Structure 1
Amino acid sequence: MLHAVIMAGGSGTRFWPESRQSMPKQFLRLAGDRSMIQGTLDRCTPWIDPGNAWVVTNAVQADETARHLPEVPRDQILVEPCARNTAPCIGLAAIHLQRQDPEAVMLVMPADHVIGPPPVFREAVESAAKLVTDDPERLVLFGVPPNYPATGFGYIERGDAVAGSDRAYAVASFREKPDRDVAEEYVESGRFYWNCGIFVWKASRILDALQTHEPEMHAALQRLAEQIGTPGWQEALEKEFPTMNSISIDYAVLERERGSLCVLEAPFRWDDVGSWHAMPRLHGQDDDGNTVLGTHCGVETRNCVIRSSDDHMIATLGLDGCIIVHTSDATLVAQTDDENAIKQLVSRLKESGHERLL
């Protein structure tokens, strides 16, 4: 049976001041009337029962996760005691799925991406699940055809076509985030995809892969598995989970496997909504190049992203290429040409003793 596993951690610093440690990106309404995490579940629930949905989050965000996703059983909101990257996160979900359904197939996805249209996403996932059913050893990754030379994503190079599928390929290599010149070569070649971090595989298969490549992590997961549903679960979780190697599933497993990997070309639209710079892609621009979400009045204002809350008026004069975000207790004004600047600003706020705003 197919289960949806939503990875929902992180702090979302690039969306400050709207995102905070207790209210990161997945809880914000950045692409519509529903929060990002609600949208993630919404696109699955027409064909995956909420009883087969699982969320992995942290203690700070667990209650808010439950509030946003009341249809997900509370005992299927798995709470990490500390951050340990995606390999332990996926392992934690896998041991629960395997206990409930030994033949479970996992659809693993982040909580904070925009994907559409939903029927196309469903068709793609069902194609991936069929690849796994045909060969239970397969680890299926989705690859997004790049439409511009992005330097902020990792890339997957495709190899030979998988027999019986017109969109699936062997994985030839993984490439780290490239500089612009290399990214342009990737796009021009037609052999590379963006690695969007969405996967399909059997729970038992990913646990076997962790046993091969991360044996100490696997051993800790197995000790945890013995405590699921017992009074000793929380104590075991707090003891075992922090000992696990903090490593992504890409480094822990995928880049060490080869023959069993395949990349399925994603037919759906995808955006990782990595920062305020994504707003023009999601919401469009007016005749002056502005993306306005809220109440705004501007004169000689061009190429800006402007977001306000609670009917607060943002008035601008003579601005070009700025991000302006107003919340009840903080206002951001920044240039748009530096993707890392807001993250640096958040670090400076912490150093300056303004933790209450983070």
Structure 2
Amino acid sequence: MANTSKPVFAPVILAGGSGTRFWPRSRRARAKQVLALEGTRTMIQDTLDRLRLVAEPSATWVITNGWLREVIVEQLPEVTGEHVVSEPCARNTAPACALAAFLLERTAPETVLGVFPSDHVVANPKRFAEVLAKGIEIAAAGENIVVLGVPPTRPETGYGYIEQGALYERVEQTKGFAPISVHRVRRFREKPDLTTAERFLAAGNFVWNGGIFLWSAKTLCAAIREYTPEMAEPLEKIAAAYGTPEFEKIFAAEYPKCENISVDYAVLERRSARGEQKANIFCLPADFGWNDLGSWASLYEHRAEREGDNVIDGGTTGVFAIQATGNYVYAPGKTVALLGVDDLVVVETDDALLITTLGRSQDVSKLVRAIHEGGREDLI
């Protein structure tokens, strides 16, 4: 008799980044994911809220760092405290994803893990849940890997791309949503130059890699053992120590031995080299109003109702604008006057003031690096 039981699903929220492109609001101890950049809920709270549609908060894991663990535990009281794991050092997404898989493999290897960045925006949570439910089903049906691809709207050079291959399945929906088209993945592409991005857009079968992945714990563990065996050994030791008095000591000693590498490079690209039919990597459409809010410019674009609007944020008490368009301003408690300026980013906090342009907002992280090199750790 076929097994028709519902797959066990455990979301894994990656929340270890420092959000340097949102400086000066984002700092080590209050990074982007724990800020309310849209509405009153923080970004990580919004992430958990939409995941409630497919999983209980108590089943959720959060991989973060020592700077943020306390505030995340406060903001997500429904997540089991033992499931909020602080990395002793930053090691990119492959060790973070694999850590959760190795922890769960010992007791529940069939569990489907969903990897979700903590700082994305989703406009249509119900569609998100519909797509995710189908992805969980596919991930549970063997050694399959599922990725969510964002339909591109422009020739973007800041994202990696997924090249879709043959149509695997087309799922009709009954709740008013569009069908879900499941494609095999042909290969993954790195961030392209503009000419290549334009070619991808014109081809029609390329989508943005939004960093959302689904796989069973045993599937990811097997892939780590196959492709990065040197990472598997310390993770095995960490998982064996979980729940014991020695865990923190072993975690601190073994985790730094993991390679600093993204899961895209460590697993996905290497698995895709098997070929479209043998890799068993499937792409589902992330057609639910996705935005990664990666910079002040992307926040401006998300918030502006019309091109050229000035976006005034964060309790700024008033604004006077003359011949000024396309500016983003965050200055709580202040009246701001804009005269003859366009496309600026102005962000004020108690101890810092950022003035840049929308076009250079991706480079704010370079500014943070310079502040660090200048010895001003109090500003980081």
The TM-score by the shorter chain falls in which range?
over 0.9
Name the SS of the counterpart of 2:146 in structure 1. strand
Correspondence 1:88-127 to 2 at 5 A: 88-127=95-134
Distance in 1 separating the partners of 2:370 and 2:44: 28
Bigger mean CA offset, 220-229 vs 50-59: 220-229
Correspondence 1:173-252 to 2 at 5 A: 173-252=187-266
Retained in 2: the 8 A contact 1:158–1:170? yes
Which residue of 304, 315, 320 maps to 1:297? 320
Distance in 2 separating the partners of 1:148 and 1:24: 28
Distance in 1 separating the partners of 2:53 and 2:304: 28
* Letter of the structure 1 residue corresponding to residue 229 of structure 2: P
> Structure 1 pair 289/214, CA: closer, same or farther in 2 (3 Å)?
same
Retained in 1: the 8 A contact 2:170–2:181? no
Q: Displacement, 1:98?
A: 2.6
Name the SS of the counterpart of 1:29 in structure 2. coil
Retained in 2: the 8 A contact 1:140–1:200? yes
Which residue of 69, 78, 95 maps to 1:62? 69
Q: Displacement, 1:139?
A: 0.4
Distance in 1 separating the partners of 2:60 and 2:378: 33
Which residue of 329, 337, 340 maps to 2:351? 329
1:136 counterpart = 2:138: no
CA deviation profile, 1:70-111 (whole Å, cap 9, x unmatched): 111110001110011111101111122234433211111100
Q: What is the RMSD of the two structures over their aligned residues, measured on CA atoms?
A: 1.5
Which residue of 147, 155, 161 maps to 2:161? 155
- 5+ residue gaps, structure 1, are none
* Letter of the structure 1 residue corresponding to residue 325 of structure 2: R
Retained in 2: the 8 A contact 1:308–1:327? yes
Q: Displacement, 1:287?
A: 7.8
Query: TM-score, normalization: structure 2?
Result: 0.90
Query: TM-score, normalization: structure 1?
Result: 0.95
2:3 corresponding residue in structure 1: none
* Letter of the structure 1 residue corresponding to residue 112 of structure 2: V
Distance in 2 separating the partners of 1:26 and 1:44: 15
Correspondence 1:265-280 to 2 at 5 A: 265-280=285-300
Distance in 1 separating the partners of 2:358 and 2:302: 16
Correspondence 1:247-258 to 2 at 5 A: 247-258=261-272
Retained in 2: the 8 A contact 1:22–1:60? yes
Distance in 2 separating the partners of 1:168 and 1:288: 38
CA deviation profile, 1:167-222 (whole Å, cap 9, x unmatched): 11111111111111211111111110000000111011100000000111112111
Distance in 2 separating the partners of 1:215 and 1:209: 9
1:45 corresponding residue in structure 2: 52
Retained in 2: the 8 A contact 1:78–1:93? no
Retained in 1: the 8 A contact 2:297–2:359? no
1:282 corresponding residue in structure 2: 302
- 5+ residue gaps, structure 2, are 1-7, 172-179, 273-278
Distance in 2 separating the partners of 1:325 and 1:85: 28
> Structure 1 pair 64/252, CA: closer, same or farther in 2 (3 Å)?
same
* Letter of the structure 2 residue corresponding to residue 24 of structure 1: A
Q: What percent of counterpart residues are identical?
A: 39
CA deviation profile, 1:294-333 (whole Å, cap 9, x unmatched): 3223222211111122x22222222111100111111111
CA deviation profile, 1:46-74 (whole Å, cap 9, x unmatched): 33111101000011111111111111111
Which residue of 319, 344, 354 maps to 2:366? 344
* Letter of the structure 1 residue corresponding to residue 290 of structure 2: W
Distance in 2 separating the partners of 1:62 and 1:90: 17
Q: Displacement, 1:163?
A: 4.2
Distance in 2 separating the partners of 1:37 and 1:254: 25
Distance in 1 separating the partners of 2:259 and 2:373: 28
The number of residues matched between the two structures is 356
Retained in 2: the 8 A contact 1:31–1:282? no
Q: Displacement, 1:282?
A: 2.0
CA deviation profile, 1:254-305 (whole Å, cap 9, x unmatched): 0000312111122211111000001233222468521111322322221111
Bigger mean CA offset, 86-95 vs 191-200: 86-95
Q: Displacement, 1:117?
A: 0.8
Q: Displacement, 1:228?
A: 1.2
Distance in 2 separating the partners of 1:29 and 1:324: 18
Name the SS of the counterpart of 1:316 in structure 2. strand
Distance in 2 separating the partners of 1:280 and 1:10: 21
Q: Displacement, 1:157?
A: 0.3
Distance in 2 separating the partners of 1:286 and 1:325: 21
Distance in 2 separating the partners of 1:206 and 1:231: 27
Distance in 2 separating the partners of 1:334 and 1:355: 21
Correspondence 1:77-96 to 2 at 5 A: 77-96=84-103
> Structure 1 pair 46/158, CA: closer, same or farther in 2 (3 Å)?
closer
Retained in 2: the 8 A contact 1:2–1:107? yes
* Letter of the structure 2 residue corresponding to residue 35 of structure 1: T
Name the SS of the counterpart of 1:127 in structure 2. helix
Retained in 1: the 8 A contact 2:53–2:129? no
